[in-house]
A and B are shown apart, each in its own frame.
Chain A
Amino acid sequence: MSWLIAGALLWALGWYVNVRLASLPKSRLTSLLVPIIFGVTLIIIWESVVRGFEIQQVLLPAPSVIAARFATSTSILWQDWVQTVLKGMMSGYIIGCLAAFATALAVDRFAFLQRGLLPVGNFAAALPIIGMAPILVMWFGFDWQSKAAVVVVMIFFPILVNTVQGLAASDAMQRDLMRTYAAGYWKTLFKLRLPMALPLIFNGLKIATTLALIGAIVAEFFGSPIRGMGFRISTSVGQLALDLVWAEIVVAAITGSLFYGAVALLERKCTFWHPSQRS
């Protein structure tokens, strides 16, 4: 009971601090501090609820237990991370992006293809493509190649659609201007159309980051060597070692956030001129 009361009190305190901070003029410090305090209070509530209601470890481990498990099994986590993220996800992400760019450039040269492929691509982007995972695992074997293939298939259409739309972003006036400069196809592409396409391309790249991580992990449910985050999650659930599962989730969440953050940072560096980045 005392845990519950303490949790409720701390939560109220955190909320009060946040209300005070939010009423201050908005600055970099407050906009960073408020979400952090909110997150910390969430973890405190989790901890106190688990302890207060004495929830069993096999159902929901407390954050402290997860942290302890995280600290003791770093070697397993690292091994899984290398297998899933570095080998599976990153290779798939790079191949998928390159394939989508190449296709987009090819499609862009033919207006007919563009009109035909965009609706199909939009349609494909809404499909449960993750269902291809068992098929691809069958084709490419159990190791990281099949995970990379799943990632490629998952991210291909979002990036393709965004890139094709982005390449159409420059208007006729600008293209005419390039023509008056006697710029050829490639020069126009690199000096005008690609820079104009960047905001939309980055939109696709950002969507693809979370998709890629999900694809790499879920593909491991359909067969994998005895390492990898998806493998660890599915086998640890079977052994009721939920603290290890949660440790893997923490790793996945951190990886996902960092990956997304890195792409967003790159976006800011590359498209600093765009109105959405200047506010």
Chain B
Amino acid sequence: MRNLLPVLTVVAALIVLWYGAAVWLNTPWAYDKAQRAGVELSTTELIKDTWSQKKPKLPAPHQVTREIWKTTVEKKITSKRSLIYHSWVTLSATLLGFALGTVLGIALAVGIVFNRTMDMSVMPWVITSQTIPILAIAPMIIVVLNAVGIQGLLPKAIISMYLSFFPVVVGMVKGLRSPDHMQLDQMRTWHASAAQTFWRLRLPSSMPYLFTSLKIAMAAAIVGAIVGELPTGAVAGLGARLLAGSYYGQTIQIWSALLVAAALAATLVAIIGLIQRIVLNRMGMAQ
């Protein structure tokens, strides 16, 4: 709570900066219009104009807010122009990809921790896999899967999965190895089998690591879903809104899609944070 005031100050400063930048970037077009209309602009008129253009270079915050309000609250959810509809499309791909990535990540981590060969051979490639800019080949994956007959949710989810499994693997390997020698020796003195050690010691002690990586994985999954929507020809989803906006110069639409995506990411990460709080509290591991 003690951070509330500084954070609000920084956010307020950013918004002021945003308004200022809107004036600066939109001024040339405002002058252009005024010159063609043959009128002189006073400073107040100029500022007013820069904050209310139809296709501004940088829309002012209130324009974006109004657009978001118009496309979420005032539109029917089933409408193709409703941002809620597009958010849902992105959200479903994100969640599916996130779930797949988490399962794959945990499975790989368990394998890496329990099998020395896997540790030595797979781990370096897991790290290398992330240097491949998957986002850059997202269009190809979508097109190829489309040709095989896989359409809709799954191709986007696969891209999300590829992005989100990595943090989970790294975090879980670290977490499953976090019990120290003393605790492992204790398990051995109790004659615990490998499975028992896993369920009673390793898995519980990996939970803090798991939740930290789940947050990163969720943020990555959203990015994957949005970029996965770009090459489908701008059908549906927040990514499609971005692309359509950039084709037609609808900057207000781009910014509103961007802000909704940001809100979505923040909400999902916050939900994981909440689950983390509850789970760690019940396990008596809260810091």
| Interface positions of A (Cβ within 8 A of B) | 15, 18-19, 21-23, 30-31, 34-35, 37-39, 42, 58-60, 112-117, 119-120, 123, 126-128, 130-132, 134-135, 137-139, 210, 213-214, 217-218, 221-223, 229-230, 233-234, 237, 242, 245, 249, 252-253, 256-257, 259-260
Q: Is the CB of B128 within 8 A of A229?
A: no
Q: Is the CB of B147 within 8 A of A58?
A: yes
Q: Is the CB of A210 within 8 A of B133?
A: yes
Q: Which of B131-146 contact A (CB under 8 A)?
A: 131-133, 135-137, 139-140, 143-144
A237 partner, pick from B143, B245, B261, beta carbons under 8 A: B143
Q: Is the CB of B137 within 8 A of A134?
A: no
Q: How far is the CA of A48 from the CA of B117 in the complex (A)?
A: 23
B3 at interface by CB-CB < 8 Å: yes
A112 partner, pick from B6, B57, B122, B258, beta carbons under 8 A: B6
A156 to chain B, nearest CB (A): 13
Contacts A119-B3, A134-B242 known; A233 to B140 CB distance under 8 Å? yes
B265 at interface by CB-CB < 8 Å: yes
List of A residues within 8 angstroms of B242 by Cβ: 131, 134
Q: How far is the CA of A120 from the CA of B7 in the complex (A)?
A: 7
B39 at interface by CB-CB < 8 Å: no
B224: nearest chain-A partner, CB-CB = A128
Q: Which of B162-187 contact A (CB under 8 A)?
A: none
List of A residues within 8 angstroms of B9 by Cβ: 112, 116
Which of B6, B8, B242, B265 lies at the interface centre, i.e. has the most chain A CB atoms within 10 A of its CB?
A: B6
List of B residues within 8 angstroms of A15 by Cβ: 117
List of B residues within 8 angstroms of A222 by Cβ: 243, 246
B251 at interface by CB-CB < 8 Å: yes
- Name 7 extra pairs, CB < 8 A, besides A59-B147, A138-B251: A22-B120, A119-B3, A134-B243, A134-B245, A217-B133, A245-B137, A260-B131
B67 to chain A, nearest CB (A): 15
A257 to chain B, nearest CB (A): 5
B243: nearest chain-A partner, CB-CB = A134
B30 at interface by CB-CB < 8 Å: no
Minimum-distance CB pairs A-B, first 7: A116-B6, A256-B131, A134-B246, A38-B121, A217-B136, A116-B10, A35-B124
A214 partner, pick from B119, B133, B239, B255, beta carbons under 8 A: B133
Q: Is the CB of B215 within 8 A of A126?
A: yes
Contacts A116-B10, A128-B222, A138-B246 known; A34 to B121 CB distance under 8 Å? yes
A249: nearest chain-B partner, CB-CB = B137
A120 partner, pick from B11, B123, B238, B258, beta carbons under 8 A: B11
Q: Is the CB of A257 within 8 A of B136?
A: no
B219 at interface by CB-CB < 8 Å: yes
Contact segment of B74-82, B192-200, B202-210, B226-234? B226-234
